[in-house]
Structure 1
Amino acid sequence: MKLLILLLILLMLILSPINSESRLVKYLPGFPGNLPFKLHTGYVGVGKGEEVQLFYYFIESERDPETDPLLLWLTGGPGCTSLSAIYFEHIGPLSFNYTGVYFNRTTSTWETDLPALQLNPYSWTKVSNILFLESPVGTGFSYATNAESYYTTDIKSSKQIYEFIQKFLMEHPQFAKNPLYVGGSSYCGLIVPFITQDIVNGNEGETGSHINIKGYVLGSPLTDPFDTDRIGKIKFVHRVSLLSDDLYESTKVSCGAPYWNVSSAECENNVQAVLDFVAPLNDENMLEPKCDNSFPSIWCRKNYNLIIDNWANNPQVREALNVREGTVGHWTRCNQTLKTQSYMTTMISSFGYHQYLTNRPIRALIYGLINSGDQELSATYVGILRWIKRLDVVIDDDWRPWFVNDLVAGYVTKYSNGHYNLTFTTVKGAGHCPSEYKPQESLAMFQRWLAHSSL
C-alpha cells in the first residue's frame, strides 16, 4: 500500500502541469559577495490541478545538513511572508543593516531602493535545516493560477501544507530521513498542531508517504482566542499592575470567565474599562511605543519592518530569488487583503489537536517548547499555561529559571505523558515572537531543546 502511494505521488510530480523547481541562490542583492550558506528557492504545486503554487526558501544547516533536523517554519498573520521570520525574527541567517539609511517621517518610508544585508549570528540555521514556507496562497510570492483558488480556509490551507511537505521530501529525498519539526508563531498556533496531527495520522494510517515527524515548535501561539487566550490576557494585565485589584475582582464577579459573554451592564462597563486601560499599549511588546500613522518614528519597530517592501519589490531581488515573472504584483510583508477578502478563519481552537498529540510520541516546544515573551499582551504566557494545565500532563520539571551567559533568560516548566514531552518557556523581556526581541536567548533555547539538553 505504501509503495503504491509513493508511486502515485511520484507520478503526480512527473505529470505536474507546472513543474516544481528548486534553485540554488548564490547571491542576494544587498549582500556583499556570495552567500556563505546554501539557500534554495522554489515552488511546489498543491491542489487538485496544482493550481496553488507555494513558494519556499530552504536554507541548509550551517552545521551538518545531512543529519541535523529539518524545521518547516510558517509565519503568522495569516498572510505574512516568511521573510519576516528570516530577517526580523532572527530565525534565518540574514538581517537588514540600517546604517546610513534615511527614514522619511512624513511618508513613513525608507529612502533606499536596495537595503544592505548582514549576517545574523543567532540564526537557527546554525543547528537545523529550515524550510520557510509562504502560506497560505497569496502570501509573499505564493500565487494561484486562477482567481478561485485564492479563496481558502484554515483547514484547506493546512491540508495544502501537508501536501507540500510530502512533495518537497519526494523531490529532496536526502532530507526525508532527517527528524522533522513543524514550527510557527502567533496565528500559526492554530495551524501547526493541526498539521502535526495530520502528519501523524498519515503515518499511522498509511494515507501518505511516511514522514519522520518528531514534534512541533510554537512561539507566542494563538490557541483559543475566545477562551484561554482572552482569560489569560485579563489575568496577565492585572498581574503586571495594569489593572487595579478592585477592577479585576469586579470584572471576575460581574462577568465570569472567559469575560466574553457580556451579560450585564456592570460586566460591559468593566470589560470596556479593561480595554481602555490597555488600549494605549503596544500589544506585541508593552515596553515599546504603540505606533500608528500619526506617529511615524524611526523608533517604531513596524517602521523598521517597512524596509523589506523596498527590497522584495526590487527587480534584481526577484530575479535572484527565481520568482516567476508576472505572478505577483506589488509585494507587501503582510497581505491584508488576504485576511479581509479571501481567507476564512475556521479553527476556533487548536486545543483539541494539542490534546490528541499528548497520546503520541511527540515532543512539543511551543517555541519549539511552548514559548512566550513575558512582555506581550496578544498571546500571554498566563493563557498558555492555562490551556497546558487542561492537557492533563504531568509536571516533570517545575517552574525554574533558565540561563544564558549566567543571566536569567526566562523560566521553564517541562511536562510529559508517556512518550509525549512538552517544554514551556518564557523569554524574559521579549515581546510577541520572542526571537525578534531576544535572538541570542532564543537560539540557545532552541539549540538546547533540539539536543535534549537541560535548559
Structure 2
Amino acid sequence: MRVYVQVEDTRDMLKIRSFARSTMKLQSQSHQQHRNLVKQFKNMVLFVVLFLIVSLEVIESRFHVQTLPGFVGNLPITLETGYIGVGEADNEQWFYYFVESEGNPEKDPLVLWGAAGPSCSTLSILMGTIGPITFNKTIPTSEEAIFEINPYRLTKWFVDHPKFLNNPFYLGGVSYNGILVPMIAHEIYNGNEAGEYPQINIKGYFIGNPLTDIHDDYNSRVTFVHRVALISDAIYESTKENCHGEYFNVDPNNTLCLHDLQVVFKCLERINKENILDPICDTLDTFKNSHLFRRSLASFKDNWLLPQAQAQPCSEDSSLLTAWANRRDVREALHVSEVYDKIKWERCNDSMVFDYRKKSKSYTYNIASSVAYHKHLTYSNCRALIYSGDHDTKVPYLGTLNWIKSLNLSLVNDWRPWFFDKQVAGYTMKYSARDYNLTFATVKGGGHQADSNKFKECSSMLTRWLSNNAL
C-alpha cells in the first residue's frame, strides 16, 4: 500500500512528521477518535488527502463514506473522511480523505502525496486525476455530475493505522512540493536515526515537476522556451548575450537585457505556461495580470510567478468540481463540519499566491532552495524518483536536470526511452551514491502536472517504480 498526502500550507510542512508520528500513536490508543486517512490505489497504494483548517475548536471525527452525490450505488472503494488535530493543542485541524488499498493493504506501500500548492486543494486529485474516482465528461452539469471509477487510479495518503507501520512508506508530490517533500523526508530520516517513536519505515520519495531552486529553475525558462521553438535563435542569442545568462536577478540598469526580455515575454504572452500545447483559458482570468508583460524589471519576476500563482488551464472538470464540492448534500456526505458552512470550497486559495513585491498574510516563503536537503538524503538508504512533464514552462526539466547534476551522483543508466503501451512515454536516467539512488524521467507531452494530462503514463511509471521495477 502506498500513501499520498497533499500539503496545503507551508507553515505546517515540518509538522507533518510529528503529525504522522502522533497519528500513529493515536491509532494505538483506542480511546482516541482522531485518525489519519489512508487511500490506496489498486494493487499497491494507500491514498490520503488532507486539508488544513485553522480553528480553535477541536473536532474529533471519523466517518466511513459509502455513497456520494453523483455516483450511482455504493462506492466500490473504502473511503473515510474526518478531522485530525495537529500541534500540541490540536487547534489546527486537518480534514482528510482515506482510501484503502484495493490490492494487499497489509503489504502494499504507503504513499503520502502532496499536490500543487501551497494553496491548492487535493480534492481535485481525488476526483480528477490519479484518484479512484473521476468525472464522466459526458455529463454537462454539477447537479448531475456523475462520477465513474478511474481505471488508472492510484490513491493517496496515509498516516493512521499502526498495522501499517511495517509497510514501505514513501513521500510524494508535485510542483511546490519540490520544496516540502525533501525537507519532510529529511526530518523523518533524522527522527528515525534519533530513535523517535514510532519508527517510520520510510523508503524514499518522488516528486513531479518539482520547484526546487527558485533561481535555477526560473533561470532555465528562457533556455527551455528556445529549445521548444517559442522564441527564435536570434532572440535567444541576443537575450543570452545581453543578460549574460542571468534572467532572474537582472541588473535594472541593463536596458539591453530588459528590452530582450520584453521581446521574450511578448512571444510567451498567449502561451499556457503549464503546458505549452494547451490553450489559454481567459474565462478563468488566467491573464488578469497580463498587462505586467508590458512593464519592465519592476514586474519581471511577477511574469514568472511560482507554480501556484496562475489559474489552471481551461477545464470543465474544474468548474464542475467547484460547483459539486459546494453543494450542501456533498458536504453532508463527506461529513464536513457545519462550523465551515460559510466557507466556500475553492480549488486554489488566491490569498496564498506568491508575489515578490508584497508580504503574504497567509504564509512566509523563506526557503529559496531545497537542493541541500536532497544532498543530505544522498547519505541515507533512500530511493528517489524525479519526473518532469516535458512541456512545462513553469518548472522546466532543464532546471531539474541541473540541480540533479549538482548532487554529484554516479550515472548508472544514461538517457534512454521508457515505454507505456508499446509507445515511448518519455526518457529516463538513473543515478546512485552509496545506498541512495535517484531515477529521473520525463513524461512526453506532459505539462506542469503531468499526472493530470498524462495520468495513464504516470500511473504506470509510479506503479513500476514503487514496485522496484525499472521504467
- Alignment TM class, shorter chain as reference: 0.7 to 0.9
1:430 corresponds to: 446
1:441 corresponds to: 457
Alignment of 1:155-170 (within 5 A): 168-169=159-160
CA deviations on 1:376-415 (whole Å, 9 max, x unpaired) are 1111111110110111111111110011121101001111
Check if 1:177 corresponds to 2:166.
Answer: yes
CA distance in 1, matches of 2:25, 2:338: 28
1:360 corresponds to: 380
CA distance in 2, matches of 1:19, 1:67: 31
- Equivalent of 2:228, from 236, 240, 243? 240
1:268 corresponds to: 258
Residues 1:351 and 1:93: Cα distance change in structure 2 (over 3 Å): same
2:272/2:313 contact within 8 Å kept: no
1:75 deviates by: 1.6
1:25 corresponds to: 65
Check if 1:408 corresponds to 2:424.
Answer: yes
1:96 corresponds to: 135
Q: Quote the RMSD (CA, aligned, Å).
A: 2.5
2:296 corresponds to: none
CA deviations on 1:220-247 (whole Å, 9 max, x unpaired) are 111112x221122111111111122222
1:160 corresponds to: none
Unaligned runs of 5+ in 1: 102-110, 132-164
Check if 1:385 corresponds to 2:401.
Answer: yes
1:428 deviates by: 0.7
1:44/1:53 contact within 8 Å kept: yes
Alignment of 1:17-416 (within 5 A): 18=58, 20-88=60-128, 90-101=129-140, 111-125=141-155, 130-131=156-157, 168-169=159-160, 172-225=161-214, 227-263=215-251, 264-293=254-283, 301-327=314-340, 329-339=343-353, 341-365=361-385, 370-416=386-432
1:114 deviates by: 4.5
2:418/2:424 contact within 8 Å kept: yes
CA distance in 1, matches of 2:189, 2:453: 33
1:13/1:20 contact within 8 Å kept: no
CA distance in 2, matches of 1:77, 1:185: 8
Task: Give the match's secondary structure for 1:436.
Answer: helix
1:9 deviates by: 5.3
Residues 1:39 and 1:237: Cα distance change in structure 2 (over 3 Å): same
Paired residues in the alignment total: 393
Larger mean Cα displacement after TM superposition, 15-24 or 353-362 = 15-24
1:230/1:258 contact within 8 Å kept: no
CA distance in 2, matches of 1:237, 1:209: 47
**Identity of paired residues, percent?**
44
TM-score, scaled to structure 2: 0.78
Task: Give the match's secondary structure for 1:388.
Answer: helix
TM-score, scaled to structure 1: 0.81
1:39 deviates by: 1.1
Name the amino acid aligned to 1:331: W
Name the amino acid aligned to 2:235: L
1:304 deviates by: 3.2
Residues 1:37 and 1:9: Cα distance change in structure 2 (over 3 Å): closer
CA distance in 1, matches of 2:175, 2:461: 18
Name the amino acid aligned to 1:360: S
CA distance in 2, matches of 1:70, 1:7: 15
CA distance in 1, matches of 2:365, 2:414: 35
CA distance in 1, matches of 2:24, 2:234: 64
Unaligned runs of 5+ in 2: 1-20, 35-56, 287-311, 354-359
Residues 1:313 and 1:291: Cα distance change in structure 2 (over 3 Å): same
Name the amino acid aligned to 2:379: N
CA distance in 1, matches of 2:284, 2:462: 38
CA distance in 2, matches of 1:284, 1:7: 35
1:314 deviates by: 1.2
Residues 1:360 and 1:12: Cα distance change in structure 2 (over 3 Å): farther
Name the amino acid aligned to 1:326: V
CA deviations on 1:23-79 (whole Å, 9 max, x unpaired) are 221111111111111111111101231110011111111111111011111122212
CA distance in 1, matches of 2:447, 2:197: 38
Residues 1:205 and 1:32: Cα distance change in structure 2 (over 3 Å): same
Name the amino acid aligned to 2:427: Y
CA distance in 1, matches of 2:243, 2:179: 26
Task: Give the match's secondary structure for 1:410.
Answer: strand
Larger mean Cα displacement after TM superposition, 17-26 or 283-292 = 17-26
CA deviations on 1:283-318 (whole Å, 9 max, x unpaired) are 11111111123889xx96344311111111111111
Task: Give the match's secondary structure for 1:282.
Answer: coil
1:446 deviates by: 0.7
Name the amino acid aligned to 2:121: T
CA distance in 1, matches of 2:453, 2:383: 25
Residues 1:212 and 1:274: Cα distance change in structure 2 (over 3 Å): same
Name the amino acid aligned to 2:332: E
Name the amino acid aligned to 2:401: L
Name the amino acid aligned to 2:347: R
Task: Give the match's secondary structure for 2:262.
Answer: helix
Residues 1:13 and 1:255: Cα distance change in structure 2 (over 3 Å): farther
Task: Give the match's secondary structure for 2:340.
Answer: coil
CA distance in 1, matches of 2:103, 2:277: 36
Task: Give the match's secondary structure for 1:306.
Answer: helix
Larger mean Cα displacement after TM superposition, 245-254 or 216-225 = 245-254
Residues 1:31 and 1:181: Cα distance change in structure 2 (over 3 Å): same
CA distance in 1, matches of 2:280, 2:465: 33
1:84 deviates by: 1.6
